[in-house]
Every structure is written in structure tokens, then in C-alpha cells.
Structure 1
Amino acid sequence: MADIRTALVIGATGNIGRIAVQLLRERGVAVRAMARDAGGQPDGVEAFSADVLDGAALRAAVDGVDAVLLIWPFMDAGGIAPVAAALGAGGRRVVYISAMSAEHGGVWGEVEAAIRSTAAAWTFLRASGFATNTLQWAAAIRAGEPVRIPYPGAARSLVHERDLAEAAVVAMTEPGHAGRTHVLSGPGTVTQAEQVRLIGAAAGVRAVAEELDRATARAGMLAWATPEFADAALDYWASLVDTPEPVADGVQEVTGHPARSFAQWAADHAADFRAPASVAEVAARYVEAFRAGRFDRALALYDPAAVRVAPLEGGGELRGLPEILANGRRRAGDLDAGAVGVQGPYIGADGFAVRFTLGATTKMSLLTVEGGAITREEVHYFDPPA
């Protein structure tokens, strides 16, 4: 049971943050979500669309909050001092997702130092590598190409984003973590080549690793990283060939359950590594779901940020899967599945159409498909809805 009332998640739309938002709500905590674009939050979550370096927006978001989760979005610590001061004011809990290497300085160590200098009741979660970083291989795997990486023999103890989110929520909502540093990792080490193999096995696709020489890898990294960061990262990966990344028990210590394995992460993300379904495949699944009375399966085909436009339903535009799901439950709650007539699908280049008959109401839904998911639905009525 949470011993706080209100929490702020900074980085709420990222892999860790969006899970933390969900878990905090399940604990009965009022949640505020902050990100550059914080739209599409679940019902009841107060969204703040702003950069964390926007002082006025940050002060508004943190006002009256009992605990904060900070996921620092930058490659350097520039601007952290006023951010840390705002977060730590009044001695509130501040949980920061840091890194194993923070003890040696770098951006993570600088952020930790800034938070320590405030009155915050801080907790640092020093993580090993994020398993989600392997999503950068998805394009190659989906295309059936080898994953070209430096040091495929580097062994890492990658941590699942759900373990990080669960640990963060515990530290935010339960006593006993103030002033403590927890080190979190996966339950064992897995080489990069084995990570590629496990992803392929989970997704049911061919996936192989191919070694990339250091100079080529460095040149590619300079598109998004400083030379110093690129060199440090490559040196670190090289060291992991002979000295695997440490394995820590922080997940068990904080959450009470063992850390999830990389194989589990690969299974959870298998769909990310498969080629997206075609328009025809999405259309067939959508119609099949409605004909079977499985509205949940149909809604599962929507992108999380999908838009639904139906002017005659009184609500106009719905943005985000949570709102679309809620609308679907309201409208289908008393509906006899056998009473729904479905004609189609009528397939086009970038979408499809389906004609529905629901009692005395007939409508045509025009659905846009991008990347194997429905991103937009336009509903047009032949007969007004009851």
C-alpha cells in the first residue's frame, strides 16, 4: 500500500516511465506525467507537456507532489542544478534511474551529485545496460539482415524495463529507501551474439550477429554521441569480452522477485522484431475478431496513439488507445455479438473499410494502417446512432 498521495513521473512516455505511471495508478497514487509530449495518458493522469529544463513548467508539475521519478533524457548533465533543486525542495522523495558506472562520474554521477546536494530523500537505482537498447537491431532483423555490432562477444547483464519501473515505484511509495543506492541488473550475463539469437528464437525469425569493426562502429555512433562518449562506450564493450558485466541482486532486494531474464525480455518484445503485418493481414484479423464477437482482439490491432473520429457520436475525436478502449467498452457493454453485421473488408493501398450493421444503425469505418497497426479510424453513419 502506498504511503504517498501524489507522484510525478519525468520521462513518462518512455519505456520505463509509462510502466511506472501504470503501476502508480494501480497503487492508488494520483499521477502527474511529464514529457516533451505527454499526450495520450490514461484517464486521471495529469499531463505536463514540457522539457524538464523548462523551469516554470517543472515547478508547476512538482508543486504539491510527494515523490518524483526522474529519468534524465540527456547525454550530459547540463542544467541539472536547478532541476535537482526544484525536485528536492521540501525533502520530497526523488528516485533517479542511474547507471552502474555512476560511481566513476560521467553524466550519471553528476546527476546523482546534484540531487544529493538538495534536501531530497533520494534513492538511486544504478542499472546495468537497458535491454530495450537492443530494439535498435529491430530494423535489421525485420529485414532479414545480419545485426552488425562491435564486440559480439561482450557479455552484458541487461535489465528489463519492467523490473526498473517496479523497483522505482517501490522506492517512491514505500519507506526504507531514502539515502540508499540499489544496483539492478538482469539475473545473468548474455553475450551480444546470444542476445541476437534469443531475439530471433522468440520472434520466430532468422537473426544472426556479424562483427562490426571498431572504426566503423565509432563513425556510426558519432551521429548521435560525442567522441568522448563513443570512445568510452566502445572501450567498455571491449572490456566485457573478457570481464562480463556485473550481476547484481537489486531487483530481488527491492521488488521481492527475481530479475527477469533477457530471454523473457525477448519474448515480451517479439512483435517488435517481426516484419509488420500487411494491410490485408490487419484487415482480415480485424473483421475476424468482430465476426467472432471478440472486440478486445479488434482493439488490440490499434496503435497506442491511434486517433478515432466519429462526429455523430457526440464526442468527436478520441486520441489514444485508452480513450478508444473506454469508448468501445461503453458501446459494446450491452451489445449482443451476434447482432453485429460485418461486410468487408474493402482493402486499399494504405488502409481498409468495413461496413457494420448494429440493429437499426449502419456505419462505415475507414481505417488507416501504418507499420502493421491501425493508426486512424473515421466513422461515417448511414443512419444516426441511437
Structure 2
Amino acid sequence: MRVLTFSTLFPNAAQPVNGVFVENRLSHLVQSGEITARVVAPVPWVPQPLVRPGRWDRIAAAPDHEERHGLGVWHPRYPVIPKMGMSVAPLLMYLGVRNTVARLLAAADCDLIDAHYFYPDGVAAALLARQFKKPLVITARGTDLNLIPRFALPRAQIRWAARRADGLITVCHALKQPLISLGIPAESVTVLRNGVDLQAFRPRDRAAARQSLGVSGPVVVSVGLLIERKGHHLVIDAVARMPELTLLIAGDGPERSALTARAAAAGLDGRVRFLGEVAHRDLPDIYGAADALVLASSREGWANVLLESMACGTPVVATDVWGSGEAVTCPEAGLLMPQRSPDAIVAALSALLAAPPDRAATRRHAEQFSWDATTTGQLSLFRRIVAGHGHPQRTARMVAA
């Protein structure tokens, strides 16, 4: 099968960790030998008078085309209007990328469009699928279903795209319900959770990892974009009440200055270390050096950092939101927090560090989350859709939708 993957959530030379989970899923799918793939990963373009100088420079530095791990990736630009363009974002994305997609399909056709993230990406992909008469699969990943449908116009567009799609995937069972609430039949939604690369993420020499990072004593790590939703500020507040702990924060983002100031105000210089953006290949040493990963998110679809940490033998403490409870299912994995607060983090970390699970057992728990089942599920769904494309009953359903 020839697949055209479409998503803004895809790494590029200027943003190497953006949407790496989409790249990983696609890479494992291609490794099956049953598909070939090209990627269209649109990049936003913002008129400079509308933004602070330099704010979008990194995004603008993405190349127009690149090769990543043997995959051709194109980055057409689409206009974004800050604070005003949410409702028209799918249309602007579609208009910005359709010529690129037309050229790619003219050069080498595809059997299916594989879109990731419902809004605006999935809606734009539905417009492309309609124009080029291609079957479409959309994968929901988190905020696209647990937040954006609260807004009336995006909700209507998401419903339209979901009805137009030939296949729908969610990365956890918890994300299936929002689609059902939009009137999508439950049997139309396939749950295929993200996996973890068990070769890349595995237990390392823990003493060497700790020495390379210059840490000793109990160490916890918080990994992710530095934004409020990820809860790094709550972890800092909790660590301030646990004087024996060192906190490593891996990630970058708009809240870095505020988080740095928060740690300094709490007198945590030396106990809270900001590692900046960390390459995916370097994360195993950070997980391996830690006694626990803390994920204090307010929303998550399927948090890949949980599996990565557990695959390295490091248990986790996580807010019990959306798909997290589907990953942390036993004491060997770690603990779920029913509340999102410094108090809850302190309580969970204290309990976990007082009686840590065997790291080998934590690793064994993670081994059930390889990419194999996800790849098998995708191939089965894609085959069924491609085989049925053009069937009269399907055509009638599309027209009705």
C-alpha cells in the first residue's frame, strides 16, 4: 500500500522532537514491509506584523523538503492568524497544502491518506480526501478531542470530518467516548495505543547514567513541553517540600523563564535542573538515572513518556487523566494520582520511593506495549479500507455524510 501521512505533528530539522510519536508509529509501520509512505507535515506561516519579532523564527526555519529515516517529508506553509483564526484554520491549512499534495499525487499516487490530530489537521485532510477522491483515516491523539470540541464551530467541523473518514483511530479507550458523543458509532472507532521502542528504551548502566548527569541521592524527572498543562510547576512545588530530592526537567517551551524563577524563589538552586530540549535518543539515560518519572498533566491522550520511562525500568507517578490509567495498571508500573496538586505529588512520590518496585518488573510491564500490536492493527484497518474503496454502499454513505 502507498500511504500519504498528513500531520503538523511531525519532526523537522528545526523542531526535531515535534510529534516524534507520529514519526515513530509511521516508522514501525513502514518497517513491516507492507507499505511505502510519504509525509506532508504543514508548517504555520504567520505574517510578521502580527507577532513579536523572533517568536516564530524556529518554526519558519523548517525546510521545504527533507529526508528523515528514509522517508520523504514535505513542509508546505499555511497561514495562521494568531488569536483569530481557530475556526478557519482547517480551510487555511487545506488551501496552503493542496498544490503540494496535487504534485505529489501526480508524481506517485497513493492508496490512502493517513491523518493525525483531528483539528485542524484531520479536517483539512478530509477536504483533501474529498478533492482527490482518496480514502481517509484520522487518528485522534488528545487535545483534539478532549478540549477543542468544546468550541461550537470546531466541534461541527470535527464531526463532519469524522463522518467523512473511512477509518477512525484513537490512541486510548478514553478518547473513544468523545467521538461517540459527537454521534459517531462506537464500531467505527478503532483503539490503537502508541507503543514504545523496546530496543531504544531499555535499562542502562544506572551508575554511569547518574555519574554522567552529576546526580546522587533520590532523583525524579519531569519530561515534556514547558507549558502549564504539563504541570512542571506543580512538581517544582512538591520537590520544595521534599528536601532530599533532585528534580531534572527535560524540555523547553514558553514557561521556562517562569519555571526557573519559581524554582529560584523556592530556594531550589542546585536541586532543580533544567536540561532544555533533549533529543529523543538521549532520554533513556535520563530515565535510567531517575528513581521516578512524574507526569502532572491536566490532559493527556496517551503519554508516551510513561511507557518510555517504564521501559527503562523507572516507575512513574502520573495524574489519572484520559489514557494514563490505561498505561499505569499495576504497582510495578507506578502510581496514579487522583488529584493534580503538589500535595498529591508529595504523597505519591513518598509512597513510591519508600517501597519502589523492582526495576526489572517495571520493564516487564512495559514490554506488553511494543509497537507490534499497533502496526498489526493499522495494517488490518488500512487493508480493509483500501479493499473497500469505491464500493457502492460506501459511496452512498459518503454522499449522505
Question: What TM-score, normalized by structure 1, do the two folds share?
Answer: 0.33
Q: Which has the higher helix share?
A: 2
Q: Which has the larger radius of gyration?
A: 1
Q: Which has the higher strand share?
A: 1
